[in-house]
């Protein structure tokens, strides 16, 4: 196993590897740093496979617990976020297999997870309503993409991961990432593509973040 830890400079945030080393050494409470650091990214990755907000959060919780139990197996060959997302995608796929009959009849509805506040709380009510509606339109359109395209779109365009990291997360080639992204955009273009560039879609709000962190920390004894 590669060395994951070197002494941090005073006053600088701990790197992922430094946090992992500390957690493995027994400082379980520091695991919260990794969760808060990657909640948004993991949420969007799993959201590419699971349309129900509650299912996504369940899968995230299981992902963090599994990652915690296997931290000593993380060897640093890939970024921690890539390793974490792989676990999350596997958990999402397992969830789909377990609920195959139920999800076959599931109606896509993104309203459940849109309970968090918009980023700018000082906007006037008219603009707030307009932005909320735009976000709902965009998220519904993305939900209707085929699963393979949806996952690539969320990771590459919304989360803005490099193509190489998206490829590593999904286990596909970079050229395949580009092809799927192109097709996803083509499917979206006729309806809402003009709004996709800056729309704050699939955000994992602070309230959701706090609840998830608390549940995971309770389960791992932090």
The CATH number of residue 187's host domain is 1.10.10.10
Residues 107 and 145 in one domain: no
The answer to whether residue 8 sits within a structural domain is no
Helices 206-220, 31-47: crossing angle, 10 deg rounding: 120
* Number of domains comprising the chain: 2
> The domain that contains 25 carries what CATH number?
1.10.1740.10
Q: How much is the CA Rg of the chain, to the nearest whole Å?
A: 18
What is the pLDDT, as a whole number, of residue 142?
Answer: 86
- Structural domain that includes position 219: 13-116+203-222
Q: How many Cβ atoms from other residues are within 10 Å of residue 207's Cβ? A: 11
Residues 139 and 196 in one domain: yes
Of the candidates 51, 41, 29, the one whose C-alpha atom is nearest the C-alpha of residue 156 is 41
CA–CA dist 220, 222 (Å, integer): 6
The answer to whether residue 176 sits within a structural domain is yes
How far is the CA of 145 from the CAs of 34, 108, 124, 178, in angstroms?
30, 11, 32, 16
CA–CA dist 218, 22 (Å, integer): 18
Query: For residue 208, what are the contacts with CB-CB under 8 A and spacing of at least 6?
Result: 39, 43, 57, 113, 116
pLDDT in tens, the chain (222 residues): 444 545 555 567 899 999 999 999 999 999 999 999 999 999 999 999 998 889 999 999 999 999 999 999 999 889 999 999 999 999 999 988 877 644 344 333 333 333 333 344 344 444 444 566 667 777 888 888 888 899 999 999 888 899 999 999 999 999 999 999 999 988 888 666 555 455 566 778 788 888 899 999 999 987
Show the tokens assigned to 149. 């395209």
Residues 175 and 129 in one domain: yes
The answer to whether residue 90 sits within a structural domain is yes
Residues 58 and 161 in one domain: no
């Amino acid at each position: 196993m590669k060395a994951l830890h070197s002494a941090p400079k005073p006053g600088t945030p701990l790197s992922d590897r430094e946090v992992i080393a500390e957690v493995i050494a027994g400082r379980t409470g520091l695991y919260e740093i990794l969760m808060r650091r990657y909640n948004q990214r993991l949420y969007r990755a799993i959201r590419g496979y699971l349309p129900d907000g509650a299912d996504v959060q369940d899968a995230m919780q299981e992902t963090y617990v599994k990652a915690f139990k296997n931290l000593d197996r993380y060897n640093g060959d890939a970024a921690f976020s890539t390793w974490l997302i792989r676990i999350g995608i596997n958990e999402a796929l397992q969830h789909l297999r377990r609920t195959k009959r139920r999800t076959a009849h599931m109606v896509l509805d993104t309203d459940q997870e849109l309970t968090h506040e918009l980023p700018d709380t000082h906007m006037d009510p008219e603009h707030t309503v307009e932005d909320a509606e735009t976000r709902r339109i965009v998220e519904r359109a993305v939900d209707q993409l085929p699963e393979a395209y949806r996952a690539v779109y969320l990771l590459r365009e919304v989360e803005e991961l490099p193509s190489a990291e998206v490829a590593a997360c999904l286990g596909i080639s970079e050229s395949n990432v580009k092809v799927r992204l192109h097709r996803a955009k083509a499917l979206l273009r006729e309806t809402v593509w003009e709004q996709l560039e800056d729309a704050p879609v699939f955000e994992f709000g602070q309230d959701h973040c706090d609840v998830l962190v608390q549940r995971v920390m309770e389960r791992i004894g932090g």
